[in-house]
């Protein structure tokens, strides 16, 4: 058994790759003489400036006062984000930064329930809760748009019946008189 283990160790040692892989990982059998990356050196342009006479500067001693102002530091903040997922596709993810946050969970069927919040440019905090499932995308928020108010109009009245003109009234009266005369004549013939 020991000889078999030693035999495997010797075979593995003979099949091992050289240990000089270097930076280039794409060559399976690299050797030390493979050239490595070396950038060009930058020398810059020569400084060609016409020579001028030095300026004459007269210095005057002035009093100097030192005022120590308190040191101001930027406020520190914490930001975090997370994501966890299992093999069924269920996930929980989100983040929190100053001024905004988001959290959501997804189940194995792809339904997502979440919420997010942010501060709008007016300084108002906006909170939104949502559900995305087979019934669609449903939202509840403290800043949903509101439809404009319906203006109050005067309710229309039913139209009045058409009134006859005096000529039509006279023609109808003449017609009814003629019909009555014919009826009276027919009754007299009976």
Listed residue (120, 119, 115) closest to 138, CA to CA: 115
Q: Is residue 97 part of a domain?
A: yes
d(CA 113, CA 130) in angstroms, rounded, equals 6
Range of the domain at 133: 84-141
pTM: 0.41
Q: Is residue 42 part of a domain?
A: no
Dump pLDDT digits (tens) for 136-178: 999 999 998 888 998 888 888 888 889 999 999 999 999 999 9
Strand partners, 132: 112, 137
Q: Is residue 171 part of a domain?
A: no
SS3 118: strand
Q: Is residue 90 part of a domain?
A: yes
E strands present in 135-184: 136-141
Q: Is residue 13 part of a domain?
A: no
Q: Is residue 178 part of a domain?
A: no
Where does the pLDDT of residue 184 fall: very low under 50, low under 70, confident under 90, or very high at 90 and above?
very high
Q: Is residue 150 part of a domain?
A: no
Indicate if the alpha-carbon torsion angle 49, 51, 52, 58 is positive or negative.
positive
Domain count, the chain: 1
To the nearest whole number, what is the mean pLDDT of the chain? 82
Q: Is residue 113 part of a domain?
A: yes
């Amino acid at each position: 058994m020991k000889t078999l283990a030693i035999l495997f160790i010797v075979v593995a040692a003979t099949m091992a790759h050289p240990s000089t892989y270097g930076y280039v990982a794409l060559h399976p059998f690299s050797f030390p003489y493979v050239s490595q990356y070396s950038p060009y050196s930058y020398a810059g342009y020569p400084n060609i400036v016409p020579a001028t006479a030095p300026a004459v500067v007269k210095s005057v001693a002035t009093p100097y006062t030192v005022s120590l102002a308190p040191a101001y530091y930027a406020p520190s903040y914490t930001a975090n984000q997370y994501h966890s997922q299992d093999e069924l596709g269920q996930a929980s993810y989100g983040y929190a930064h100053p001024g905004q946050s988001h959290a959501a969970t997804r189940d194995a069927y792809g339904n997502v329930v979440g919420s997010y919040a942010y501060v709008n440019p007016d300084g108002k905090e906006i909170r939104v809760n949502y559900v995305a499932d087979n019934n669609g995308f449903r939202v509840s928020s403290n800043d949903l748009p509101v439809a404009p108010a319906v203006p109050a109009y005067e309710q229309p009245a039913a139209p009045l019946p058409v009134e006859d003109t005096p000529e039509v009234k006279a023609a109808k009266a003449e017609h009814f008189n003629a019909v009555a005369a014919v009826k009276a004549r027919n009754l007299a013939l009976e």
